[in-house]
Amino acid sequence: MFVLCDKILGKNILKPNRKLFSSYTFTCFEDINLVPVNDWTKALNNKNVFLSHSYLSVLHKEKTDHFRFRYVIVYNRKDPIGVVYFQINDFSASLFGELIEKQISELKSKRASVFQRYIEHNENETIMRLVTCGNNFISGEHGFYLDVNSKKTTFKIVEGVIDCVSRAEKLRGKISAILVKDFYAEGFGNKDCWYCTKFVHFNVEPNMIIDLPKRLIKPTDYLATFSKKYRNRAKHILSASASLTKKRLSAQEVSLYKNTMHDLYTQVFNQAKFKLVHLSPGYFEDVIKADTNSFYVDAWFLGDQMVSFACGFCLENEVEAHYIGFDYAHNKEYELYQTILYSFIEQAILMQKTKINLGRTASEIKTTVGARAHELLCYIKPQNTVSKLILKPFMQFLQPTEWIPRNPFKEES
């Protein structure tokens, strides 16, 4: 008989300076307000804005009874040299019921039958705990940063921390799994490393990235690299949205429009294939207050009505597209989504960045503005047989959908 998830009781993980190997130790915290800011900042060394103490302090406000966080600082002797970040999600039975229905019907075991009956009669109960090393709000490698001399050492440290956290969260014997996300194949996505620890890899929707040509001065320079077909397409999109008023919002204006922005974001969220965590209405306001230097918000208005918005981060060499929102009732007429994509391109060119990270989803449409797909791998380790039963359809559900890549650029002669 399987055991359902219970409340997290393992507090041993919170003891300071727990041993890893050699001279490496770590300390784990369950509240960002208890994390020593100086140690975290020194360990991170400004290498990842999405692991910064200020940004994670914003995300911490999204905490609920079913969505929690763990923050780990890694030390070499007493020197902070790295951080590891975890998100813990508890899922209800109803979320997985549809996904695993086919697999349940194919498995004629007594355990599967008991599990199926439980789902049918307890759809609102917690059925699974997923411990994620990484950030479920953002695509990319944002689970850890370690200043060590090799990938092998990095992996060994992360593996050790993951093992300690999973044991402390009482995962063994529960319906649960450990997810490590998202990796590029050329980075920490090396399959050989993860296979040796019984992790299973699977692909998710790729990151769509635009590498901008050199010597671009203005957005029209970028469009000049397009073939006639795609230049005309871009002109149509920009013409359709010309009657809208675009505005860069101040922190005060983000506060003023936060409910409207949340409604527009929710329209996009509701179209998502897999709805993991729904942002709270104060999220954008909190981010712009925490990080006013790199974070920005653009909005488009039809008269006095906000019909779309886009926010992003201007990082050292790239623009990172963050969340967007738009009114589907006006999307087709004013090409709201496509206009947002071109706004990220404009921002990057004006700020002289070399890359635009457009994130996952809508891959085919993003290729029409010059984005190319970069494969992302996730690694997952189920904790028992029933967990494997759930995770198989779960991973299949997250597999990339088929789409046709487009090439908007002129053919090289």
Question: Does residue 116 carry a pLDDT above 80?
Answer: no
Residue with tokens 């991170």: 44
- In this structure, the answer to whether residues 189 and 220 fall within a common structural domain is no
Please choose, from the candidates 5, 64, 106, 110, the residue with its C-alpha nearest in 3D space to the C-alpha of residue 387.
5
Residue 79 pairs in a beta bridge with 76
Question: Does residue 261 carry a pLDDT above 70?
Answer: yes
- In this structure, the answer to whether residues 97 and 234 fall within a common structural domain is no
DSSP helix/strand/coil, 40: helix
Percent of the chain with pLDDT strictly greater than 70: 82
The CA distance from 299 to 296, in Å, is 10
**362: in domain:** no
- In this structure, the answer to whether residues 272 and 199 fall within a common structural domain is no
At 131, list the tokens. Answer: 């411990």
What residue type is 207 in one-letter code? N
Please choose, from the candidates 382, 406, 407, 405, the residue with its C-alpha nearest in 3D space to the C-alpha of residue 393.
382
Question: Does residue 6 carry a pLDDT above 50?
Answer: no
The mean pLDDT value for 163-167 works out to: 86
The CA distance from 391 to 275, in Å, is 16
pLDDT for position 387: 74
pLDDT digit string (tens) for 59-110?
A: 999 998 889 999 999 999 999 999 999 999 887 666 655 555 554 555 445 4
The CATH number given to whatever domain includes residue 264 is: 3.40.630.30
DSSP helix/strand/coil, 102: helix
**Tally of structural domains, the chain:** 2
**101: in domain:** yes
**127: in domain:** yes
Please choose, from the candidates 297, 304, 291, the residue with its C-alpha nearest in 3D space to the C-alpha of residue 343.
297
DSSP helix/strand/coil, 259: helix
Contact at 8 Å (CB) between 91 and 54? no
Residue with tokens 């040509």: 213
DSSP character string of 151-197: HHHHHHHHHHHHHHHHHHTT-TTBSEEEEEEEEETTTTT-HHHHHTT
Domain span holding position 327? 213-353
- In this structure, the answer to whether residues 92 and 129 fall within a common structural domain is yes
**360: in domain:** no
pLDDT for position 203: 87
Q: What is the pTM of this model?
A: 0.88
The mean pLDDT value for 239-257 works out to: 97
pLDDT for position 395: 76
pLDDT category at 185 given cuts 50, 70, 90 is confident
- In this structure, the answer to whether residues 194 and 333 fall within a common structural domain is no
Please choose, from the candidates 344, 333, 334, the residue with its C-alpha nearest in 3D space to the C-alpha of residue 366.
344
Ranges 26-40, 332-346, 393-407: which has the least confidence: 393-407
Q: What are phi and psi of 76, to 5 degrees?
A: -110, 110
- In this structure, the answer to whether residues 34 and 151 fall within a common structural domain is yes
Question: Does residue 7 carry a pLDDT above 50?
Answer: no
Contact at 8 Å (CB) between 226 and 234? yes
- In this structure, the answer to whether residues 276 and 329 fall within a common structural domain is yes
pLDDT for position 5: 36
Strand bridging mode 126-133 / 176-184: parallel
Stronger pLDDT, 58 or 112, i.e. the higher one? 58
**7: in domain:** no
- In this structure, the answer to whether residues 58 and 182 fall within a common structural domain is yes
**363: in domain:** no
- In this structure, the answer to whether residues 218 and 187 fall within a common structural domain is no
**388: in domain:** yes
- In this structure, the answer to whether residues 167 and 196 fall within a common structural domain is yes
Please choose, from the candidates 361, 317, 310, the residue with its C-alpha nearest in 3D space to the C-alpha of residue 339.
310
**230: in domain:** yes
The CA distance from 8 to 11, in Å, is 8
pLDDT for position 322: 96
- In this structure, the answer to whether residues 124 and 254 fall within a common structural domain is no
What residue type is 337 in one-letter code? Y
Residue 18 pairs in a beta bridge with 26
The mean pLDDT value for 292-321 works out to: 95
Question: Does residue 2 carry a pLDDT above 90?
Answer: no
- In this structure, the answer to whether residues 127 and 180 fall within a common structural domain is yes
